[in-house]
Every structure is written in C-alpha cells, then in structure tokens.
Amino acid sequence: MKNLWLDEEAKNYKSDLELRVYSSNLLGQSDELVLHGGGNTSVKSIVDGEDILFVKGSGWDLVSIKAEGFSPVKMATLLEMAKLKSLSDIDMVSGQKEAMIDKTAPNPSVEAILHALIPFKVVDHTHADAIVTISNSKNGKKYIDELFPNFLIIPYVMPGFILAQKIYEATKDNFDWNRCEGIILHNHGIFTFDDNAKKSYSKMIKAVSLAEEFLKLNANVDLAPIEPSSYKIDKLKELIEIKKGFSVVMKINQTPLALKYASKNNLVTFATRGVLTPEHILRTKRVPLILEDNNIEKSLNIFEENYKSYFKKYENGEVMLNTTPNYAVIKNYGVVSFGKDEKEVNIINDIVEHTMLAVLRADMLGGYESITEENSFAMEYWELEQAKLKK
Ligand SMILES: [Zn+2]
C-alpha cells in the first residue's frame, strides 16, 4: 500500500501535536487501514514539565481529527492504572477523565493505557484489513507468527482495561522494546510505534504491505462481473420498517464482490461467521439477515428468534438491543444495508464491503474464523460502546 507521507507538507507542522494530527489524517485516508472511527493514535509530550499523553478522543475519526480531537492525559496516572489487578471499564474511563489536564477535551480512547505503556513517543493503531484477514483465518496464528517474527503477538482479548493489562503483563519484565517492531492483536488490529512520527507511520505501511503481499500471493480473489437476479426489494424495505418501527434508508450493493459473496452456496452458514474487527459488531451486528428465497417474513422471524436466543444465552442483566438485522445477504441478488439515515447506511455498507473481501480471502487460507459468539456478545453489549454509539 502507498506511503502517503510528504516531507514537503510535514515540515509545516512544528509541534508534536501538529505532526500527530498530520499522520493520523494520513492513516485515516486509507480505507484498508481504518474505517469510520476505527483505530487510534497518540503522541507523548511535555506540558508544564509534566509527561502528557495526547490520545485520540472518542467520537473522532482519524481521517478528519484535529488537535482538539486529542485528549491530554497525565502519563503517570495511566501507568499507575495499568498496574491494577482489576478495574471495570467504567472506572477506567472515569479515572482517565480525571487525569485529563484539559477538562473540555473529548473522552480519551479506551486504549489510552495501552498507548501509555508503549515507551515510544508516537503510537499508531489501525484495524488494517490485510492483518485482520490473515488473523481471522484458520491458520492465522501460524501465518502471523511467520510474517511478523519481531512483533509482540497477543491472542484476542476484549479491548479496554483487559487488553491494557495483557500488554502490561507481557512487557513488564525484561521485555526488549527496542527489538519489538510492533504489536499484533489477533482478530483486532496492529500497533506500530517510534520516537519519530514519520517512522512510526512508515512502519505501519510497511507491515500492512507485507500482509497485503502475502494475500496477493496466497489469497487472490477473482472478481468477475456477475449478472444479479431480481428480488422484491420494496417488500423487504416495507417489512424491515415495520419490524424496526422507523423508516430506513436502504443501500443496495451489487458490486462484483457483493454478487460473488451472495452467490455462494448455503449462505446461512457461509455469510454468518462474524465480524472482521470487534467494533464492527456495533454497526452490523454479528450476522446478517439471510434471504435464500422469497419468504422474507419467515426469514425475518428466524433472524429475530436467533437474535433473542443469542441474547438470552449470554445476557447478564443487559438490556436487549434492537433484534432486527442491519444488513441482508440476498441469494444471487447482492447485499442490502439498512440505516436510520444516509450516513449510517453508508458506514454499514462500507464495513460489509471490507468484511466480504476478507471472508473470501480467509477462506482461501483455510477458512474464515472470527472471534467467538461469546466474545462478540461481550463487545456488542459493552457498556462503553453503547454509550459511544449514542453520541
Ligand atoms: Zn482497535
């Protein structure tokens, strides 16, 4: 993938934070690195003699983040929090907020402690498609180990305090950070870091390019045009709106990728294998509505029943979310997303587009495998994430 760094432009940015904004925007410009609010970045700096972590604030997208989108948090507090034996994510967030030196700044990213633990000035984190595609495949652990021998590789755990604690445990004794080229979080994403903003960004591009090369060689998906069949799409919209109780904006995807995906056999199994990176679940839910015949009502009822039993299986006092699908895969017709407005439907469509390619590629690596249903539930019903979506 292309390295977008321009020395000519970068030289205009003098402060740590200005440069941080510049390379965050560069990361955000590549859809194959982050989509809609995904990923986060930080820079360590000194304010009035105190070490401060400027970390992406929640509610900001890397592509458009500005200086005011970064939360300034005291490093000392974050490093103390990392040592705690246990901490709820709610308490972590309020502890982080208390350690902000500017109370008008946005809430710091839930990965702030992790960023603080990495002893380099600049830290970049993305959910790069190529990395998570390989990781979400049957032999993902082996391939990632082989491709990234000098990376710290962490099996999937829930983002937030549990993940920060995992990194703390893995690195607190005799860990040689200088020989560590980055961190890969299985089923989630990748971190690169350096004391220099250009180098940290370039390490990200280099690592992701390596994964892309691997996929090109081992999982190249042929996307020939396919003629879509017809479907009673107006009826689908009508029934979805009745179920959801509000009018929806629908987006029909009939790209060669969507058609190849929708033409697979046994969609009920094929297209329901979970999300590419955990936070996507908040937009798409874990599985789509599958329509393999014209009986939309019956399929919708099955979807809702399955959703309710998934909730019942894992719930522990949470309030159930909307039980209706956010997108549908329609046999030989394509993929249709439903959003409350144009913006939301485009986000869902983009996420599904990236997921479909990853699934097809991971199948060529032995089979697509996402996080477990139980871990999906933990993410979908994460209190913090529910709060973030309401914004
Ligand atoms: Zn992440």
pLDDT digits (tens, 9 = 90+) for 342-376: 999 999 999 999 999 999 999 999 999 999 999 99
Claim: this prediction has a pTM higher than 0.85: yes
How big is the chain by its Cα radius of gyration, in Å? 21
Please tell me the predicted confidence (pLDDT) of residue 390: 58
The confidence band for 59, taking pLDDT boundaries of 50, 70 and 90, is confident
Residues 357 and 215: their CA atoms lie apart, in Å, by 11
Q: Name all contacts of 300-308 with Cβ < 8 Å and 24+ positions apart.
A: 300/239, 300/240, 300/243, 300/324, 300/325, 304/243
CB-count exposure of residue 335 (10 Å: 0-12, 13-18, 19+): buried
Q: Is 386 exposed, middle or buried (0-12, 13-18, 19+ CB in 10 A)?
A: middle
Distance 125 CA to ligand 1 centre (A): 7
- Alpha carbon of 34 to ligand 1 centroid (Å): 9
A 10 A CB-CB count for 295 gives: 11
Averaged pLDDT, 307-326 = 93
Q: Which long-range contacts (CB under 8 A, 24 or more apart) does 203-209 make?
A: 203/124, 204/27, 204/33, 204/124, 204/126, 204/128, 205/1, 205/2, 205/3, 207/128, 207/131, 207/148, 207/151, 207/181, 207/182, 208/1, 208/32, 208/33, 208/126, 208/128, 208/130, 208/131, 209/1
Q: How far does the centroid of ligand 1 lie from the alpha carbon of residue 127, in Å?
A: 6
* 114 CA to centre of ligand 1 in angstroms: 11
197 in Cβ contact with 227 (< 8 Å): no
Ligand 1 center from residue 39 Cα (angstroms):
5
What is the per-residue pLDDT for 364?
Answer: 97
160 alpha carbon – ligand 1 mean position (Å): 9
> Residue 58 has what pLDDT?
86
Is 385's pLDDT higher than 70? Answer: no
For ligand 1, the distance from its centroid to the CA atom of residue 117, given in whole angstroms, is 15
C-beta separation of 292 from 331 below 8 A: yes
Residue 201 or 385, more confident: 201
In the numeric block, the tokens 């986000």 are attached to 347
How far apart are the CA of 37 and the centre of ligand 1, in A? 10
Distance 306 CA to ligand 1 centre (A): 28
pLDDT of residue 37: 80
Give the pLDDT score at 386. Answer: 67
Residue 40 confidence class, pLDDT cut points 50, 70, 90: very high
Average pLDDT over residues 234-257: 96
Q: How far is the CA of 44 from the centre of ligand 1 (A)?
A: 19
Grade residue 318 by pLDDT with cuts at 50, 70 and 90. Answer: confident
Contact 33, 125 (CB under 8 A): no
- Span from the CA of 379 to the centroid of ligand 1 (angstroms): 12
pLDDT at 391 over 60: no
pLDDT surpassing 80 at residue 95: yes
Helices 383-390, 89-98: inter-axial angle, 10-degree rounding: 60
Axis-axis angle for helices 140-147, 197-218 (nearest 10): 130
Cβ–Cβ under 8 Å, residues 61 and 28: yes
1 pairs with which residues across the strands? none
Average pLDDT in the chain: 95
Percent of the chain with pLDDT over 70: 98
C-alpha of residue 38 to centroid of ligand 1, in Å: 6
What is the distance in A from the centroid of ligand 1 to the CA of 100? 21
**Does residue 184 contact residue 131 with C-beta atoms inside 8 Å?**
yes
* Ligand 1 centroid from CA 115, angstroms: 11
How many A from CA of 189 to the centre of ligand 1?
6
Q: Is the pLDDT assigned to residue 100 strictly greater than 70?
A: yes
DSSP lists the bridge partners of residue 50 as 47
Mean pLDDT of 116-124: 98
Q: What separation in Å is there between the alpha carbon of 263 and the centre of ligand 1? A: 31
Helix H or strand E encompassing 282: helix 281-284
pLDDT score of 215 more than 70: yes
User: 215 C-alpha vs ligand 1 centroid, how far in Å?
Assistant: 21
Q: How far is the CA of 132 from the centre of ligand 1 (A)?
A: 11
DSSP string, 214-252: HHHHH-PPP----------HHHHHHHHHHHHTS--EEEE
Distance 258 CA to ligand 1 centre (A): 26
Distance 31 CA to ligand 1 centre (A): 15
CA distances from 263 to 165, 269, 318, 337, 365 (A): 43, 13, 37, 17, 20
Tell me the CA–centroid distance for residue 199 and ligand 1, in Å. Answer: 20
